[in-house]
Amino acid sequence: MTTIGAGRPETTEVAVILGVDTHLDLHTAVALDHLGRRLGQASVPTTAKGYEELLRWAEGFGPLRCAGIEGTSSYGAGLTRHLRARGIEVLEVERPKHRRSNLQKSDPSDAEAAARAVLAGEASGVPKSADGTVEMIRTLRAARRSAVKARTQAANQLQALRVTAPEQLRRHLRGLSTKELVSVAARFRLADDPRDVQAATKFALRSVARRYEALSEEISELEAHLERLVGQVAPELVSLPGIGTDNAATLLVVAGDNPQRLRSEASFANLCGVAPIEASSGKVVRHRLNRGGNREANRALYMTCLARMRRDLRTQEYVARRTQEGKSKREIIRCLKRYVAREVYRVLISCGARSSPTGPKEEAQIAAGSNAA
């Protein structure tokens, strides 16, 4: 570990605030005391040994009160888990936006900015615990999303190969749906060494078709695991109108294994980008679209609203009433998304209260972070 300027404060009554700028292979940390005085700077590798070394270094100045970490769900995930396991309160710090080119940017300055944000009470977000069933859902969902994207690419490539195939082969495959094309092409019988354009095209078609079939099996397997896990952690969420396994998984991942970290349903709505933004002027009172928040969660709420507008009688009555009041379809959907977010939040909190892996100490940390906000 490299330590620079690690001076000791004059008083022994020091509460240490740690700020960490995270990267793939190396984390840079700056320690401040409770008065904002800089105590020292350190860099450690992103390993368990490095995390422990960083903790001992910080506690050498005094009791470590809190750590502000950038990217707790990405590069800082390992350090976050390590500190939380040691009973250290961890707060999520947004990465600084360096808008002006004449402002200096360095890892130590970013780490110090993270520590000062915690000290000033500007960083009060409790990170996801990432140690339960929802984290399992997140990893499986990421694999499924990648497999679906690869299967779509394979299907598009199959269509392109058919279009450019020699006329005899093209005539044989003409009019087949994607599913039928995959079934036919995957069973082509060919020699190991293609000797002409038609044989090479059939070889390519068979290769891509078998890739499509393998990806379909992979997707089915992942979907079965996701359906089981979502039903296990939040059966009430899947039972809500218009929310299937995929949308439920998206909303669970956004909230995390510890949804209690979200202080209210308004904070969850803001996280999903459905909190209304005032856009009134003069006598016109209106709200505009919120383009912030997690866009995947926003899309899940949007698809839920569309499904309810087609099949849910209560939603259809609401849409009819709001339409008579002069609201546009876009404004109605915006209101519906806010309502669905409120409904989902209540279910997430009730499910999290039953299955959250957090202990009493971590619950106290979450409460402390809420009070600091």
Q: Which residue in 252, 347, 229 sits closest to 300, CA to CA? A: 252
β-strand pairing of 2-4 with 287-288: unpaired
- At residue 363 the predicted structure's pLDDT band, cuts being 50, 70 and 90, is very low
pTM of the predicted structure, to 2 decimals: 0.77
Question: What single DSSP character describes residue 205?
Answer: H
Report, as an integer, the average pLDDT of 333-343: 93
Report how far residue 215's alpha carbon sits from residue 218's, in angstroms, rounded to the nearest whole number. 5
Q: Is 129 exposed, middle or buried, given 0-12, 13-18 or 19+ CB atoms closer than 10 A?
A: buried
Tell whether the model's pLDDT for residue 364 goes beyond 50.
Answer: no
Residue the block writes with tokens 């495959």:
173
Q: Greater confidence, 102 or 141?
A: 141
Per-residue burial over 281-312, b if 16 or more Cβ lie within 10 Å, else e, is eeeeeeeeebeebbebbbebbbbbbebbbeeb
- Tokens at 361, concatenated: 């100490």
Report how far residue 278's alpha carbon sits from residue 286's, in angstroms, rounded to the nearest whole number. 7
Residue the block writes with tokens 């459905």:
274
Tell whether the model's pLDDT for residue 138 goes beyond 90.
Answer: yes
- Tokens at 373, concatenated: 């906000």
Coil, strand, or helix at residue 119? helix
Q: List pLDDT tens digits, range 145-196.
A: 999 999 999 999 999 999 999 999 999 999 999 999 999 999 998 877 788 8
Q: Which residue in 11, 2, 54 sits closest to 31, CA to CA? A: 54
Residue 287 has what pLDDT?
A: 67
- Tokens at 31, concatenated: 């320690």
Q: List pLDDT tens digits, range 306-321.
A: 999 999 999 999 999 9
- At residue 332 the predicted structure's pLDDT band, cuts being 50, 70 and 90, is very high
Report how far residue 328's alpha carbon sits from residue 98's, in angstroms, rounded to the nearest whole number. 39
Task: Please give the torsion angle defined by the CA atoms of residues 323, 325, 326 and 328, in that order, rounded to the nearest 10 degrees.
Answer: -40
Report how far residue 165's alpha carbon sits from residue 171's, in angstroms, rounded to the nearest whole number. 9
Instruction: Give every CB contact of residue 2 below 8 A, 6+ residues apart in sequence.
Output: 42, 43
Q: Which residue in 84, 123, 51, 73 sits closest to 358, CA to CA? A: 84
Report CA 240 to chain centroid distance, whole Å: 22
Residue 358 has what pLDDT?
A: 45
Q: Which string of DSSP letters, residue by residue, matches 321-363? A: HHHHTT--HHHHHHHHHHHHHHHHHHHHHHHHHHH----HHHH
Q: What is the CA radius of gyration of the chain?
A: 27
Q: Which string of DSSP letters, residue by residue, matches 41-79? A: EEEEESSHHHHHHHHHHHHTTS-EEEEEEE-TTTTTHHH
Q: Is 342 exposed, middle or buried, given 0-12, 13-18 or 19+ CB atoms closer than 10 A?
A: middle
Residue 96 has what pLDDT?
A: 66
Report how far residue 237's alpha carbon sits from residue 346's, in angstroms, rounded to the nearest whole number. 10
Tell whether the model's pLDDT for residue 125 goes beyond 80.
Answer: no
Q: Are 258 and 126 in contact (CB under 8 A)?
A: yes
Report how far residue 104's alpha carbon sits from residue 300's, in angstroms, rounded to the nearest whole number. 40
Residue 149 has what pLDDT?
A: 97
